[in-house]
Amino acid sequence: MRIFVGIDLKPTLKSEIIKLQNKIKPYAIKGNWKNEADFHLTLKFLGDIGEDQLKGLFETLETTRRFFEPFSIHLNGIDVFGSAMPSPVTGLTAVRVLWLGLDGDLEALNDLYFAIENALCDYGFAKDFRPYAPHITLGQDIKLTGSLETLKAAFEPVDGTIEVDAITVFNSEVVGGKRVYTPIKTYDHVT
């Protein structure tokens, strides 16, 4: 199984994000767009793991969930990973990953990320040494017809709050040629 740990979003927020994504699509001639059901916030990508590791993951998260308090974060603007400069030849802007950023209680989000990262490292999962860059992916491998700055100026950010009160384990698989993220276990905050 190809597994990651994340925060699932409420259906109403996913609906608002898909509306924004649909408004952006006409500004692109190509892209691999995320499905509405698959919007999430990744905390830890684990990759392919076996049943024994999955059992250990579940045990680790059962313990970890007891050490975080619920908190709120908010959607905050469109951005990209990597360069997003228009081609002088075609005028198209190649975007590797187009995403929505976050603000709000990012300190609590980082604390949760590090708690999970350290607990899973103690269990034997590989530590990720890259800086944590929380975001919600809208699409990948996109060719915009104009500049990223034009796109950013054309859209107001989605007004959305994410109440973080649970951690979800997702299975990532290809179904019908599309990547699908299926929640397999959710750990609600313990009061």
pLDDT digits (tens, 9 = 90+) for 2-56: 999 999 999 999 999 999 999 899 999 999 999 999 999 999 999 999 888 899 8
- Find tokens 């530590």 and name the residue: 127
Q: Where are the alpha helices (DSSP H) in 41-105?
A: 51-64
The pLDDT, as a whole number, for residue 191 is 60
pLDDT value for 15: 93
So what's the pLDDT on residue 97? Answer: 93
Domain ranges of the chain: 2-188
In the block, residue with structure tokens 């767009």: 33
Question: With left for phi above 0 and alpha for psi between -120 and 50, is residue 83 left, alpha or beta?
Answer: beta
Distance of alpha carbon 109 from alpha carbon 103, whole angstroms: 10
Fold of 2-188: Cyclic Phosphodiesterase; Chain: A, (3.90.1140)
Q: Interior CA angle at 109 toward 47 and 9, to 5°?
A: 70
Mean pLDDT for the stretch of residues 74-83: 86
Q: Looking at the whole model, is its pTM more than 0.85?
A: yes
104: exposed, middle or buried (C-beta count within 10 Å: 0-12, 13-18, 19+)? middle
94-113 pLDDT, tens digit each: 889 999 999 999 999 999 99
Which two tokens mark 180?
């699908």
Q: Tokens representing 54? A: 């999955």
